[in-house]
Amino acid sequence: MKGSDKDNVHKRLKRFIYSEEYGIDGSNKSPYWNQHASSIILNFDDNSVTGKGSSGDTKPFQRSFLSFIGRNKMRVLAFLKKPTRSIDKLFLLMFMRGKINLLSKKDAFNSIMSGEIFKQGHIYCKYSPCHLDLDEFILNNSLFQNTKDIKGTTIYKRGFGINDHLIKTCYHYNVLQHTLSSKEIKTVVEIGAGSGIFLSLIKDAYPQSTMVDIDLPESIAHAVVFISKLYPNAKMLLPNEELTKNIDEYDFIFRTPDQINDIPDQVVDLSINTMSFMEMNHSSVELYLGNIQRWSKSGAYLFSSNRIEKIPYSKATVDNLEAVDANYEADYPWRDNETILLETDKLVRLTSLDGAMIRVQKILKNISW
């Protein structure tokens, strides 16, 4: 790590919550994100801060007896309130799930990394361009070989459990690490990092690197709380704090969409977006892809995993009978960079009825943006 901060994190986060940077212009938010961002609740006491809400809160649960009781309390209350509904859901889980052949995230991850999915008839051609060579992929010892390996992460060592989002992110990490073949990574920008799980996995692999999280302020609040628990001595920069040093002097930098110009030209080795371009307005995707082209070094990488199709509707758009255009991954304004990988997300294919595409590009600097 690059040195700790003098002031404790919860005081700095509280200043951010009451700053101008927290109340950014709502035009950056699609109706979908306006709905989810409004659900965040932050609680401060003298020495800590906790956050709740669906806006970017993807962190694993804390491993403890009280956490176990808390996670299952809502199920018990739901049963007491509407027992017939709970019984119906249990019936569907027991007798209907197998009809559509969906696996849990854990079973899907282990099935892919063991090669078991090929024995079950999933099509794979070793010589198909822009696809993983799965024979090499599953034998790469630098990757998470199964979900038990996730216990070696800082996330698990700091007392957090293994949830579905962490498992999915570990699969994305595997794909990324195998594709990059251990290339040097110094500066990483993730657009829409949520709680910061992906950034944490990369930080574990490249301890001297700088992680930049560009996200809506509500999600950044979750990420600051989570990252500070994982790396209490990390040097962090919050959105309301001025960037006065080179970005490589920080471990984690948090910036809102209004602050993307704080990232200098040609300094980034890797840009990431997973499952959030699909929730944005088309103009926002255009803006981000243009800036990725600007801030990336020549030969840097872009990693994306997004739904093939998603309609980013919200309760407000439904209530008002508003038409909401679908977002299509193939229609995003991708630049004419070199495509290294382009294939359906195998983990999503095994666990969800909605497909997703994984795309890795090598950034070329001689094209227009």
The three-state secondary structure class of 104 is coil
Altogether, the residues listed in the chain come to a count of 369
Segment (H or E) for 350: helix 346-351
Give the residue-averaged pLDDT of 151-168: 97
Lowest mean pLDDT: which of 49-53, 209-213, 237-241, 275-279?
Answer: 49-53
**Nearest to 1, CA basis, from 204, 233, 156:** 233
Distance of alpha carbon 261 from alpha carbon 282, whole angstroms: 20
Lowest mean pLDDT: which of 8-17, 18-27, 121-130, 219-228?
Answer: 18-27
Lowest mean pLDDT: which of 90-99, 131-140, 212-221?
Answer: 90-99
The answer, yes or no, to whether residue 36 has pLDDT greater than 70, is no
Q: What is the pLDDT of residue 272?
A: 98
Residue 357 bridge partners (DSSP): 306, 344
CATH architecture of 9-60+103-362: 3-Layer(aba) Sandwich (3.40)
**Angle (nearest 5°) at CA 140 between 134 and 144:** 100
Give the residue-averaged pLDDT of 121-140: 87
Give the residue-averaged pLDDT of 108-128: 84
What tens digit of pLDDT does each residue of 251-267 get?
A: 999 999 999 999 999 99
The answer, yes or no, to whether residue 6 has pLDDT greater than 60, is no
Q: What is the pLDDT of residue 170?
A: 98
What tens digit of pLDDT does each residue of 37-93 get?
A: 555 666 666 555 565 555 556 677 677 766 666 656 666 676 677 777 767 666 666
Q: What is the pLDDT of residue 97?
A: 52
Quick one: tokens of 207?
């301890």
What tens digit of pLDDT does each residue of 223-249 get?
A: 999 999 999 999 999 999 999 999 999
Q: What is the pLDDT of residue 285?
A: 94
Give the residue-averaged pLDDT of 144-158: 97
3-state DSSP percent of the chain in helix, strand and coil, to 5: 45, 15, 40
Helices (H), 120-239: 134-137, 154-157, 164-180, 197-205, 217-230
The three-state secondary structure class of 300 is strand
Lowest mean pLDDT: which of 5-14, 100-109, 182-191?
Answer: 5-14
The three-state secondary structure class of 233 is coil
Quick one: tokens of 274?
């997973």
Q: Where are the domains of the chain?
A: 9-60+103-362
Lowest mean pLDDT: which of 92-101, 102-111, 235-244?
Answer: 92-101
The answer, yes or no, to whether residue 13 has pLDDT greater than 90, is no
